[in-house]
Amino acid sequence: AQTVTQSQPEMSVQEAETVTLSCTYDTSENNYYLFWYKQPPSRQMILVIRQEAYKQQNATENRFSVNFQKAAKSFSLKISDSQLGDTAMYFCAFSGTYKYIFGTGTRLKVLA
């Protein structure tokens, strides 16, 4: 069975600094996608970034980038130049056949 593990329940970072959120996963599938979703306080969940497992190049979206280590089954999210609006719950997710598996989330607080 697929699993997704986020070992950091809470983190904080100073505004303008860089922070890395960790995620590991386990699967026997070869073709899959990995995602980071963001859930701001009292707001809807939205996509942050997506990685295709067969692509070796790490995905980047503006200040957000991932470090995808397929052999190690690791998928971390780096947020550069953190902003107050980045304060949210961040969920790592694995997408396989007809299902999404989410981690338990990391609550990130950006401090002014």
Does position 30 interact with another protein (CB under 8 A)? The reply is: no
Stretch that binds another protein, among 15-23, 32-40, 61-69, 79-87 (CB under 8 A): 32-40
Selection from 92, 106, 104 nearest residue 32 by Cα: 92
Does position 36 interact with another protein (CB under 8 A)? The reply is: no
Alpha-carbon distances, residue 106 vs 32, 55, 64 (angstroms): 22, 25, 15
Does position 75 interact with another protein (CB under 8 A)? The reply is: no
Does position 64 interact with another protein (CB under 8 A)? The reply is: no
- CB atoms under 10 Å from CB of 55, counted, come to 11
User: How is residue 87 written in tokens?
Assistant: 């304060």
Does position 48 interact with another protein (CB under 8 A)? The reply is: no
Stretch that binds another protein, among 12-20, 33-41, 62-70, 78-86 (CB under 8 A): 33-41
| DSSP character string of 14-32 | ETT--EEE--EEE-S-SS-
Specify the amino acid at residue 89.
M
3-state secondary structure of 61: strand
Residue from 16, 46, 84, 111 in contact with another protein (CB under 8 A): 46
Instruction: Name the residues that contact another protein, by CB under 8 A.
Output: 6, 31-33, 35, 37, 43-47, 50, 52, 91, 95-105
